Amino acid sequence: MAIVENIQFIEKEISGKDVTLVAVSKTKPVEMLMQAYNAGFKRFGENYVQELVDKHESMPKDIEWHFIGHLQSNKVKYIASFVSLIHSVDSLKLLQEINKQATKNNRVIDCLLQIYIAEEDTKSGMTEEECLEILKAETLPNVRIVGLMGMTTLTDDETQIRREFKKLKDFYQTLTFNPQRLPHPSLTILSMGMSGDYVLAIEEGSNMIRVGSKIFGGRVYQK
Ligand SMILES: *Cc1c(COP(=O)(O)O)cnc(C)c1O
Q: What distances in angstroms separate CA 182 from CA 39, 122, 193, one per listed residue?
A: 41, 29, 27
Number of domains, the chain: 1
The pLDDT of residue 72: 97
Note whether residue 131 is domain-resident: yes
- pLDDT single digits (tens) 162-194: 999 999 999 999 888 765 556 556 789 999 999
The pLDDT of residue 222: 57
**Cα-to-chain-centroid distance, residue 76:** 15
Instruction: Tell me if 6 sits within 8 A of 27, measured CB to CB.
Output: no
Mutation choice for ligand 1 from 22, 24, 88, CB with most ligand atoms inside 8 A:
24
Note whether residue 125 is domain-resident: yes
Note whether residue 72 is domain-resident: yes
Atom of ligand 1 nearest to the CA of 151: 13
Note whether residue 223 is domain-resident: no
User: What string of pLDDT tens digits covers the 223 residues of the chain?
Assistant: 599 999 999 999 999 999 999 999 999 999 999 999 999 999 999 999 999 999 999 999 999 999 999 999 999 999 999 999 999 999 999 999 999 999 999 999 999 999 999 887 666 799 999 999 998 877 899 999 999 999 999 899 999 999 999 999 999 998 887 655 565 567 899 999 999 999 999 999 999 999 999 999 998 765 4
105 CA distance to ligand 1 centroid (A)?
28
Note whether residue 86 is domain-resident: yes
CATH number at residue 46: 3.20.20.10
123 CA distance to ligand 1 centroid (A)?
12
Q: What is the per-residue DSSP string for 153-215?
A: -S-S-HHHHHHHHHHHHHHHHHHHT-GGGSS-TT--EEE---TTTHHHHHHTT-SEEEE-HHH
Atom of ligand 1 nearest to the CA of 26: 1
Note whether residue 220 is domain-resident: no
Note whether residue 221 is domain-resident: no
The rounded distance, in Å, linking the Cα atoms of 116 and 127 is 6
The pLDDT of residue 85: 98
Q: What distances in angstroms separate CA 148 from CA 199, 207, 215, one per listed residue?
A: 18, 11, 23
Query: Within a 13 Å sphere around the CA of 62, how many CA atoms are in the beta-carbon half?
Result: 5
Q: What's the domain range around 74? A: 2-215
Mutation choice for ligand 1 from 28, 68, 165, CB with most ligand atoms inside 8 A:
68
pTM of the model: 0.95
The pLDDT of residue 17: 96
The pLDDT of residue 137: 79
The dihedral over CA atoms of 76, 77, 80, 82, expressed in degrees to the nearest 10, equals: -120
Atom of ligand 1 nearest to the CA of 24: 4
The pLDDT of residue 129: 93
Note whether residue 119 is domain-resident: yes
